[in-house]
Structure 1
Amino acid sequence: MRTPRWISRHLAAVRALVFFTVLLGLLYPLAITGVAQLPGLRDNANGSLIEVDGKPVGSSLIGQSFTDADGSPVKKYFQSRPSASGYDPDATAAGNLGPESIEDTLGDPALDPNSADGDGSKQALLTQVCARSKAVGELEGVDGSRPYCTADGVGAVLRVFYTDGLSGKVTRAVSVNQACPATPFLPSYEGVAVECAKFGEDYRKGVLVPVRGSAPEQPAVPADAVTASGSSLDPHISVDYAELQAERVASARGVPVDKVTALIAEHTTGRALGFMGEPAVNVLELNLALDRIQ
């Protein structure tokens, strides 16, 4: 007796389902897992964990913070680059802010910024960079100023109002990232007094004007000290950022600076494949090396 066509089709579908379930759901994962355990691949596949006294303290592939309970940098340790996720592997993500993110959202002064809901404020990328650069400069004892940043660590940005909309005579200028009663970073702009920004006012009709200021073209604080990586998990910092921190770390530990710089050189990796990227320093491995010499 010939099997009806519709039954044959269903049986073929079931056979295909079973075949691909076994192939792709069982055999393929087992094969990949087996390959991953080959010498040379095993460490990366298992997370590249670093252990001290038999206990894992981190991964050479994932960055982490070296701060105290209050979030302040621990001075005897090298600091990692900023992270948009707080180095949480379950929340890896970029900040999704680009070069046009220069105007902050002011918070409601009637709300508590430290509450669970916050005050509604939001920093633009420019202000985040400015604030980080100021903080790093203070920590390392160098000039933390950057172009387009105010002395108090926010984006130096004005909303400028003209008589003809986008041109003409300036009638008003507002430092939109400096909430009142702050003193604006510029006393005047083209003969008009600069105002501090007030919550609730609509400044969108003004033209956004970033002001470069007098900061050096090449800031003392490197770029990776003030910007987060795309994954927010980068375990490395630049050689420049590591060398900037060397004196502070050496002083906090009471060891010669040249001993610390030698460890930086020892834990510096070259460009990938010899030509991609820049030399970098693994922060966790460097800090563990420092702990071993004391």
Structure 2
Amino acid sequence: MPTTPTWLRQYGAAARILIVMTVLVGLIYPLAMTGIAQLLFPSQANGSLIRNDEGEVVGSALIGQNFDGDAWFHTRPSAAGDEGYDGGSSSASNLGPNSEELLQQIEDRKAQVADREGVDEDEVPADAVTASGSGLDPHISPDYAAIQTRRVAAARGMSVEEVEKLVAEHTVGRSLGFIGEPGVNVIDLNLALEDAH
């Protein structure tokens, strides 16, 4: 009785394992995880989308946007894409701390922010002049939000106290109480400003 060659048995076993693992890891596991995520964390599973009062998607709580004009809180600079905050081009500038180009960008940004906000350059926080590692961070520091309140209040005809209250309501603490720094989600804050005015 002829026997199957060893190499053929090994290839057959490998092919069966490949098929089983492809079905398990490539189909069943992703479908199960997607189902669990949709069931337990539907907002996060769908991109943490932010909607306005009409139900239109205006952004994601996880990805920053550029806001122009005095009536809005401004985000930190972004190196993601040509115009910044391009989710498909998440990246930093890759300029090191000894880069003359980076140092010049920071000095230029510091002067622009100080001029726009009417403060001394020494009062401009670091996140106002440096991009995040991903280039997509939607948060700014409470310090950066604080120096913007007078400008936003004046542009919207609101009191500084009203704007400061909105900033405080949209300031989140450290993750788990000790990781990172407090931050203000600029998209959420600007939507709250639009609703309040």
Give the Cα separation in 1 of the matches to 2:181 and 2:18. 48
SS class of match (1:38): helix
Q: What is the letter of the counterpart of residue 243 of structure 1?
A: A
Within 5 Å, which residues of 2 pair with 1:105-144?
A: 124-144=101-121
Q: CA-atom RMSD, angstroms? A: 1.0
Residue 35 of structure 1, CA deviation: 2.0
Length, aligned pairs only: 192
Q: How much has 1:3 moved relative to structure 2?
A: 2.0
- Cα distance in 2, alignment partners of residues 82 and 223 from structure 1: 11
Q: Match for 2:180 among 277, 284, 287?
A: 277
1:51 — aligned with what?
51
Task: Indicate yes or no: 2:70 matched with 1:75.
Answer: yes
* Partners of 2:18 and 2:153 in 1: CA distance: 63
Displacement after TM superposition at 1:7 (Å):
1.9
Corresponding letter in the other structure for 1:89: G
Give the superposition deviation at 1:20. Answer: 0.9
Match of 2:61?
Answer: 60
Aligned: 1:244 with 2:128? no
Output the amino acid matched with 1:227.
T
Query: Where does the alignment leave 5 or more consecutive residues of structure 1 unmatched?
Result: 68-73, 103-123, 145-218
Aligned match of 1:89: 87
SS of the residue corresponding to residue 158 of structure 2 reads coil
Q: TM-score, normalised by structure 2?
A: 0.94
Q: For 1:175-223, what per-residue CA distance to the aligned partner results, in whole angstroms no more than 9, with x for missing partners?
A: xxxxxxxxxxxxxxxxxxxxxxxxxxxxxxxxxxxxxxxxxxxx11000
Read off the aligned partner of 2:49 and give its amino acid letter: L
**Structure 1 residue 54: deviation in Å?**
1.5
Mark the structure with the bigger radius of gyration: 1
Alignment TM-score, normalising by the size of structure 1: 0.64
- Listed as ranges, the gaps of 5+ residues in structure 2 are none
Per-residue CA distance 1:25-75 (angstroms, 9 max, x = gap): 101111211221133x221121000111111000011000012xxxxxx10
Aligned mates of 1:6, 1:62 — CA distance in 2: 52
Deviation at 1:4, TM superposition (A): 2.3
Aligned amino acid, residue 11 of structure 1: G
SS of 2:39's equivalent in the other structure is coil
